Amino acid sequence: MTDTTEKAASGAGVGAAPAVPAPAPAPRPARLWRGVTPWLFLIAPLALLVTFTYAPIVNMVAYSFTDWDGVSPELHYTGVENYTELFTRDDLFRVFFVSGYYLAASVVQIVAALYFATILSFQVRFRNFFKGVLFFPYLINGVAIGFVFLYFFQDGGTLDSVLSLFGHHSDHAWLGTPVSANVSLAGVSVWRYMGLNFVLFLGAIQSIPGELYEAAELDGANRWRQFRHIIAPGIKPVLTLTVILSVSGSLSAFEIPYIMTGGATGTETFVIQTLNLAFRFNKTGLASAAAIVLLLIILLVTWLQRRLVPDDKVDLV
Amino acid sequence: MTRRAVARTLVYLSLVLAAAVVLLPLGVVLLTSLKSEGEMADGSGALTLPGDLFNLHNYVTAFQDGGMLAAFGHTAFILVFAIGGTVLIGSMTAYAIDRFTFRLKRLVVALFLIAALVPGVTTQVATFQIVNSFGMFDSLWAPIVLYMGTDIVSIYIFLQFVRSIPVSLDESARLDGANAFTIYRKIIFPLLRPAIATVVIVKGITVYNDFYIPFLYMPSEDLGVISTSLFRFRGPYGAHWETISAGAILVILPTLVVFLSLQRFIYNGFTRGATR
């Protein structure tokens, strides 16, 4: 804070220097002008917001009740047919189960991130090295990650070679059956996203005042107790944020499965299916309904989180 | 004492194991990218060292035949405009929301907040139609406007900073006759420098790595950005893992350089960006 204030103080000289003599404005236009000013700043942002966020949502709701193919001028109102189709057709509904793998993976991911954030917030040798290594995957291009792991899971690829070092000779097609393919892909997403959770937790733990640990240590609390009574409550807001991000991330998993398997062998996720419906099979109406369902689920999860854990700083203003 | 020692050993063991899990897949790809076609075919496995550690042949192939030069050019073009736009739009929004009281302000704030809850992937079916109707489909402008569009995280970061700039600065400037635009341009914007740095880094990494939007909106072969150009390697190089690996390393390398040189800012940026 003080840092900013100091800079602000030095900035004042700069800002105040070109002192334009104030014209004495007529009161009425001046007031009008003042009312318009904030809108001049907001025109562009609001126009973009409405065009690329709200207009699509409204359109999507409208499309979802039609049989539109996305191209032809002809479209028919079909009522809730798209929605019933989504929930009754087995092949369409199946993608929800795939999300289960990613949900399970996010539990692993959060636990691992919590563990590493806790141990790396205490004195450890090569701390910065480990921090960097754990976080770096999050910054890597998704396509590159996809290729790295395609090679990793290949027949006789990295994983098989490592296993054979330990005397386990197998030529396993890791992406060959639905279960092992989904587990492998979910593993990749843990590899990719664990670093983000880790850094968020680390930041939160470090914002806990150090005296608390000292006091606890004096009281004879061990590491586990310190974690349980100081760290866990201290990072609760970040923890809940991570949980929502993970749930919505699991439901909207796309890049890794699309790049690695293209949705083959039972790895199709909700988003891949929606994109295929919309852009490959020209079923814009059905795809819109699917997207609305996903959106509603994610909003529901967020709402639940807000209800269960009242956050003290959700307001922008 | 011994119990403590055991605990410490276990801690280090877990750290080393985690580091190996992260580095091994990347390391193997690096090794593969240096191997010749013959070495790939001889069935010696993924973990063997390449015969020539300075065999850059695959990189040349990947760079030239994969159209990586054009891809880096397109990515740079999108980065400049998308980030410039995000900084301008985010700072203007933050300034207007924090420094003015006006009717409908609560509604405007709510619109931005609610938009933050809507994941982009869910609305692309309909966003596509809108982008298409503007004639921006299959041009570099489609990703640019979409990235600029509604970056709530950057608006939030700017808002935090604008709030920390004392209002008395605005007032004294106003007494000197400066209008709102002068105040924004001469006082607020320069003081936002740390926030701008954060937004440039976080947004830059996101845009550089994004696959979804360019894949959807720029299907032309000659409009590849680095993600989509790399993705297209799968077809022509199918089983040529040495070339694909070289391409992947080429894409990862700039990220690594940026990360190593800006480490601290990157951590801070992501902590500030995500913990709204």
Retrieve residue A148's tokens. Answer: 């790295």
Predicted local distance difference test score (pLDDT) of residue A139: 95
Confidence tier at A16 by pLDDT (50, 70, 90): very low
Retrieve residue A22's tokens. Answer: 């104030």
- Work out the angle at residue A17's Cα, subtended by the Cα atoms of residues A16 and A20, and round it to the nearest 5 degrees: 85
Contact A16 B146 (CB under 8 A): no
Predicted local distance difference test score (pLDDT) of residue A223: 78
Distances (CA, A) of A249 to A269, A294, B9, B273: 11, 11, 35, 17
Q: What are the domain boundaries of chain B? A: 3-55, 61-274
- As a whole number, mean pLDDT of residues A268-295 equals 92
Longest dimension (CA), chain B: 79
Predicted local distance difference test score (pLDDT) of residue A150: 92
Contact B100 A38 (CB under 8 A): yes
Predicted local distance difference test score (pLDDT) of residue B250: 95
Q: Which of A144-158, A235-249, B97-111 has the lowest mean pLDDT?
A: A235-249
Predicted local distance difference test score (pLDDT) of residue B52: 81
Predicted local distance difference test score (pLDDT) of residue A2: 37
Q: Which of A21-25, B106-110, B172-176, B187-191 has the lowest mean pLDDT?
A: A21-25
Q: Which of A2, A43, A140, A258 to mutate to test the interface with B (most CBs of B within 10 A)?
A: A140
Q: Which residue of A has its CA nearest to B175?
A: A22
The answer to whether B53 faces chain A, any CB pair under 8 Å, is no
Contact A254 B275 (CB under 8 A): no
Confidence tier at B211 by pLDDT (50, 70, 90): very high
Left if phi > 0, otherwise alpha if psi is -120 to 50, otherwise beta: which for A9? alpha
Predicted local distance difference test score (pLDDT) of residue A173: 79
pLDDT digits (tens, 9 = 90+) for A30-77: 777 777 889 999 999 999 999 999 999 999 999 999 999 888 888 889
- pTM for this structure? 0.87
Predicted local distance difference test score (pLDDT) of residue A98: 93
Helices A127-135 and B241-274: crossing angle, nearest 10°?
110
Confidence tier at A7 by pLDDT (50, 70, 90): very low
Confidence tier at B1 by pLDDT (50, 70, 90): low
Distance from CA of A211 to the nearest CA of B (A): 23
Amino acid at B126: A
Q: Which of A28-32, A140-144, A178-182, B6-10 has the lowest mean pLDDT?
A: A28-32
- As a whole number, mean pLDDT of residues A232-237 equals 85
The answer to whether B14 faces chain A, any CB pair under 8 Å, is yes
Mean of the per-residue pLDDT values for chain A?
A: 84
Confidence tier at A157 by pLDDT (50, 70, 90): confident
DSSP string, B141-183: HHHHHHHHHT-HHHHHHHHHHHHHS-HHHHHHHHHTT--HHHH
Mean of the per-residue pLDDT values for chain B?
A: 89
The answer on pLDDT for B73 being more than 50 is yes
Question: For residue A237, which residues of chain B lie inside 8 Å, CB to CB?
Answer: 275
- As a whole number, mean pLDDT of residues B147-165 equals 87
ipTM of the complex: 0.91
Distance from CA of B56 to the nearest CA of A (A): 18
The answer on pLDDT for A10 being more than 70 is no
Contact B191 A7 (CB under 8 A): yes
- As a whole number, mean pLDDT of residues A106-131 equals 93
Provide the sign of the torsion angle of the four alpha carbons A290, A293, A295, A301, taken in this order. negative
Q: Compute CA B166 distance to the chain's CA centroid, rounded to the nearest angstrom.
A: 32
Q: Which residue of B has its CA nearest to A278?
A: B125
Comparing A6 with A258, the larger pLDDT belongs to A258
Distances (CA, A) of B106 to A151, B101, B112, B276: 51, 10, 10, 18
The answer on pLDDT for A20 being more than 50 is no
CATH class assigned to B61-274:
mainly alpha
